[in-house]
Amino acid sequence: MSEYQYYEFVAVDRPLTSVQQRELRALSTRARITSSSFVNDYQWGDLKGDPREWMQRYFDAFLYLANWGTHRVALRLPVGVLDPATAAEYCVGESACSWATRTHVILDLQSEDEDGDEEYEGGGHLAAILPARAELAVGDRRLLYLAWLLCVQNRELADGEPEPPVPPGLGELSGPQHALVDFLRLDPELLTVAAETSTPLKETVPSTAALSRWVKALPEPEKNEVVVRLMRGDDAHLRSELLARFRCAAPDERAGAGRTAGELLARAGERWSRRQQLARQREAAERERQERAVAAAREQRLNALAGRQEQEWQRIAAMVETKRPKEYDAAVVLLSDLKALADRDGDSEAFRQRMRQLRERHARKPSLLDRLDRAGLGALGVS
């Protein structure tokens, strides 16, 4: 299996400066570098840089995959829109971790598959996932919960580890969140079990009246600061930060309902076992239906064949004389039906005699005899 690695970095909140682009170009002559992205893939060699460091210095999103089974995605948000403590509450293992700089929080999520991906192209995955970052920025914590669930799935938590607050809408993930679930290979059974205690997703746009009440309650210095930041126009997340603060003032998440990591895994295992059992039952029923259909069709053929045996033996003789493989195959099918008809009607001895004569007459045609043997018509000529 040849090696394949794909790296994609994206700057969302602020474009890369010309100086930053030159710094990145000095590390890669092949990469596709723009003011908002760095993309490169490798069939040999590796990235001459540390993705963790690049996330801290340059970029807001990062995606990596390798055809030996590694999938990794990282997202960076300002501390004003995502509290580092909140991120740390959900990102609790090797598969999902978080860390904070002075200005940002970075989430790093990773999935491994020992079977690997023999053929894989990386383009398009980050574009599908990236809008989930904007959802998180306005207070949607479903992405964080998915990160915690990834740690549960990979057995990185003790069975007794309590579940963190469950965000609403786990049973109705957005498109970008579904893309993240697929990329990280989250178990759908585990996700279904986790969503059982999640409340329905409410209207994401707060009412004007609710916003007005909240804004009026803000201290005057905070309002002045917001207006100054708005007028400066250099804060891409000002709206997200304010909406996140608004939602935190009236959280709609529920606690983990007393569930633990071990209980979620056990329930997911039970669901998987039930689904497998149902699938086996459906497969068995389908096989039985097909067998009945085949038996009915053959019985119909045998009924049509009854009374015409002599004509069919003559047809078989003509087919065999052609020495053509396709005619041999057709003759074997017809002989099998004649045998079944003879067995059904108690005329097996007459069939065996005709069969013995046919084999003796064409003993110098090994291709024909081989087909007869494989069709279970070989031993008939030995008695």
Tell me the C-alpha distance between 165 and 85, whole Å.
13
Within-domain flag for 295: no
Looking at the structure, tell me whether residues 27 and 172 fall in a common domain. yes
Within-domain flag for 245: no
Q: Each residue of 331-372: pLDDT tens digit?
A: 999 999 999 999 988 888 889 998 999 999 998 999 999 999
Q: Look up tokens 């059992």; give the residue.
A: 277
CA distances from 112 to 61, 151, 178, 262, 312 (A): 19, 12, 18, 21, 62
Give the Cβ contact number of residue 70 at 10 Å: 15
Looking at the structure, tell me whether residues 10 and 88 fall in a common domain. yes
- pLDDT for 109 beyond 50: yes
Domain boundary among 267, 296, 324: 267
Looking at the structure, tell me whether residues 370 and 263 fall in a common domain. no
Tell me the C-alpha distance between 63 and 8, whole Å.
5
CA distances from 327 to 23, 323, 324, 368 (A): 73, 7, 5, 10
- Name the pLDDT band for 319 (thresholds 50, 70, 90): very high
Return the percentage of the chain with pLDDT > 90, whole number. Answer: 58
Tell me the C-alpha distance between 126 and 50, whole Å.
19
Res 75: pLDDT:
98
- pLDDT for 45 beyond 90: no
Q: Each residue of 81-108: pLDDT tens digit?
A: 899 999 999 999 999 999 999 999 999 9
Query: What residues contact 16, with CB distance under 8 A and at least 6 apart?
Result: 24, 34, 35, 36, 58
Return the closest-CA partner of residue 93 out of 7, 39, 158. 158
- pLDDT for 381 beyond 50: no
- Name the pLDDT band for 383 (thresholds 50, 70, 90): very low
Phi, psi of 316 (to 5 degrees): -60, -45
Within-domain flag for 292: no
Looking at the structure, tell me whether residues 180 and 65 fall in a common domain. yes
**Tokens at 85, concatenated:** 């403590």
The mean pLDDT value of the chain amounts to: 88
Which of 225-239, 302-316, 368-382 is modeled with the greatest confidence?
302-316
Looking at the structure, tell me whether residues 50 and 145 fall in a common domain. yes
Res 3: pLDDT:
87
How many residues in total does the chain contain? 383
Q: Each residue of 1-40: pLDDT tens digit?
A: 578 999 999 999 999 999 999 999 999 999 999 999 999 9
- pLDDT for 253 beyond 60: no
**Tokens at 381, concatenated:** 């000529």
Within-domain flag for 231: no
Orientation of helix 142-153 relative to helix 175-184, angle to 10°: 20
Letter string b/e over residues 311-344, b meaning 16 or more CB atoms within 10 A of that residue's CB: ebbeebeebbeeeeeebbeebbebbeebbbbbee
Domain boundary among 211, 235, 267: 267
Q: Each residue of 142-178: pLDDT tens digit?
A: 999 999 999 999 999 999 999 999 999 999 999 999 9
Looking at the structure, tell me whether residues 357 and 261 fall in a common domain. no
Q: Each residue of 179-206: pLDDT tens digit?
A: 999 999 999 999 999 999 999 887 656 7
Q: How many helices (H) and strands (E) does the chain have?
A: 16, 7
What Rg, from alpha-carbon coordinates, does the chain have?
34
Beginning with the edge strand found earlier in the chain, give each strand of the sheet holding 104-112 in spatial order. Answer: 32-33, 37-42, 5-10, 61-66, 70-78, 104-112, 96-100
Looking at the structure, tell me whether residues 185 and 42 fall in a common domain. yes
Within-domain flag for 182: yes
Within-domain flag for 280: no
Range of the domain at 377: 307-381
Looking at the structure, tell me whether residues 77 and 193 fall in a common domain. yes
**Tokens at 342, concatenated:** 């003879």
Looking at the structure, tell me whether residues 353 and 259 fall in a common domain. no
Looking at the structure, tell me whether residues 24 and 135 fall in a common domain. yes
Tell me the C-alpha distance between 199 and 91, whole Å.
22
Query: What residues contact 178, with CB distance under 8 A and at least 6 apart?
Result: none
Within-domain flag for 212: no
Tell me the C-alpha distance between 44 and 28, whole Å.
14
Q: Each residue of 126-144: pLDDT tens digit?
A: 999 999 999 999 889 999 9
Looking at the structure, tell me whether residues 350 and 257 fall in a common domain. no
Looking at the structure, tell me whether residues 189 and 321 fall in a common domain. no
Return the percentage of the chain with pLDDT > 70, whole number. Answer: 90
- pLDDT for 277 beyond 70: yes
Q: How many domains does the chain have?
A: 2
- Name the pLDDT band for 118 (thresholds 50, 70, 90): low
In this prediction the pTM is 0.70
Within-domain flag for 274: no
